[in-house]
Copies of this chain bind each other. A is one copy, B any other.
Amino acid sequence: MNSKSIRQKEIAEKTGFSINTVSLALKGSPRISEETRSIIMECAKQLNYIPNVVARSLVQKKTNTIGIILTELMNPILTETAQEIEQILKKSGYNMMLMITNSSPEQEAEALDVLVSRQVDGILMYPVFTANFAKIKLLRDNKFPIILLAGGDYELPTDAVYVNRREGAYKAATHFIQAGHKRIGFLGGGNYSDKEKQNGYFAALQDNHIPFDPSLVGRVQSDGYDAGYASIEELYKNAMPTAVICTRDYIALGAMRWCRERGIRIPEELSFIGFDDTAAASFAEIPLTSVKYDVKAVTEKATELLFQRIDEKDKSVAMSIQKISIQPRLVIRQS
C-alpha cells in the first residue's frame, strides 16, 4: 500500500533468486540454505518488505481472522467480552473483525453475510434473539465454525458457551429466601435473557414453597439506570416487596436511587440484587450484591471450542455439539 509497494518479485529481481525461493526463505523454510536465506532477509529488510496477507489468504484459504458479533459494546459485559477475546485471539495468531448489531436482526444477518464473504475462519456471536437461527443452522450444517455466546436453552443444534442466567437468578432468590424474605420482587425486561432469569426466580420460589404473586414482577422499558429509577415505583407501591432482583446492575442502581430519595432504607426496608457485577455495583453508595457474569470463563471456553472447530474442518472426524454452561456466582455486598 506504500507509494511503491514492495513485493516478493522486487526482492527476487534484486537478489537474483526466483520468487519461489524468496517466498520460502522469508518464512524460514529449512529447504533454503542459511546463506541465501540471510541474503534475502537482508534485502527484504532493506526494501522494507511487508507481506501481502490478502494474497496469502487467497491461496491458503485461511484468513486468520475471526468475526465477533455483539449486540452492543456499551454494556460492560460485552465490552469486557470484546477485550478478552481480542487478547486471546492475538495470542493464537488471529485478528478480530468486530461487528455491532444494535440488537437488530437485520443487522445481525448482514453481519453474518459480511463475515462469511470475507472468509473469516470462524465466528463468535452474541445473538440478538432467535431471528437468524435458520441462517446460523445453515452455516453450522456446512461445518462453518460458529459459537454462540448465549442461549444454551435455545432449540438450536449449535455450539454455545454461556452463563447460566437461570441459575444466577435462582441463587439470588435463594439468597433472599434464606435471609428470611417472603415478598421478593423481580424487575426486568422482555428479552430472552431476562426471561431466563425470571424462570430461575420462579423456580426458587417454588422450591421453597413461597406462593407466587404476579404483582411482584415488574417490567422495565430499557436496561439502564433511568429505567430502574422509573420502574421501581410501581412495583414498590403495588406489591410492597422487601427485596428485589433486578436483571441488570444499572437497573438496581437506578431503583436504589429512587428509594434513597424517598428515605426508604437499604437494605433494612428493601434489599436489592443486580446482575453482572459491574464496577458501578461495587462502588455504589450502598455496594450492590450482584450475580457475577464470568466473562473470562466464557471467552476462554468459547475461543477454545472455536479453535477446535477450526481444526476439525481439515479432518473428517467431528465432535458432537457442545453446550458449555458457566455457573454464575453471587457477589454479596451490603444491599
Q: State how many residues of chain A have any CB contact under 8 Å with chain B.
A: 51
Most B CB contacts (10 A, CB to CB) among A54, A98, A100 go to A54
From B79, B82, B119, B254, contact of A54 by CB (8 A): B119
Judging by beta carbons under 8 Å apart, are A144 and B2 in contact? Answer: yes
Pick from A19-27, A37-45, A55-63 the stretch touching chain B: A55-63
Residue A191 is within 8 A (CB to CB) of chain B in the complex: no
Judging by beta carbons under 8 Å apart, are B95 and A118 in contact? Answer: yes
Which residues of the partner chain B approach A279 to less than 8 Å between Cβ atoms?
225, 250, 280
Which residues of the partner chain B approach A114 to less than 8 Å between Cβ atoms?
95
CA of A3 to CA of B141, assembled, Å? 9
Which A residues from 29 to 69 make CB contacts under 8 A with B?
A: 50-55, 57-58, 61, 63, 65
CA of A115 to CA of B335, assembled, Å? 47
CA of A222 to CA of B225, assembled, Å? 27
Residue A97 is within 8 A (CB to CB) of chain B in the complex: yes
B interface footprint on A66-88 (CB within 8 Å = 1, 0 otherwise): 00000011100001101100110
Residue A134 is within 8 A (CB to CB) of chain B in the complex: no
From B55, B79, B96, B285, contact of A79 by CB (8 A): B79
Judging by beta carbons under 8 Å apart, are A63 and B54 in contact? Answer: yes
Residue A184 is within 8 A (CB to CB) of chain B in the complex: no
Judging by beta carbons under 8 Å apart, are A1 and B257 in contact? Answer: no
From B65, B74, B90, B253, contact of A80 by CB (8 A): B74
Using known A-B contacts A50-B113, A51-B117, determine if residue A86 contacts B74 with beta carbons closer than 8 Å. Answer: no
Most B CB contacts (10 A, CB to CB) among A98, A143, A144, A285 go to A98
Closest B residue, CB atoms, query A102: B87
Given contacts A58-B58, A82-B98, 10 further A-B contacts (CB under 8 A): A1-B116, A2-B144, A54-B58, A54-B118, A54-B119, A79-B79, A86-B99, A95-B118, A225-B282, A280-B280
Q: Which 4 A-B pairs have the closest CB atoms?
A: A2-B142, A73-B83, A285-B285, A98-B98
Ordered by A's residue number, 22 sampled pairs between the chains whose C-beta atoms are within 8 Å are A1-B116, A1-B119, A50-B113, A52-B117, A52-B119, A54-B57, A54-B118, A58-B58, A72-B83, A73-B73, A73-B80, A73-B83, A74-B79, A79-B79, A86-B98, A87-B102, A95-B114, A97-B97, A250-B279, A254-B283, A280-B280, A285-B285
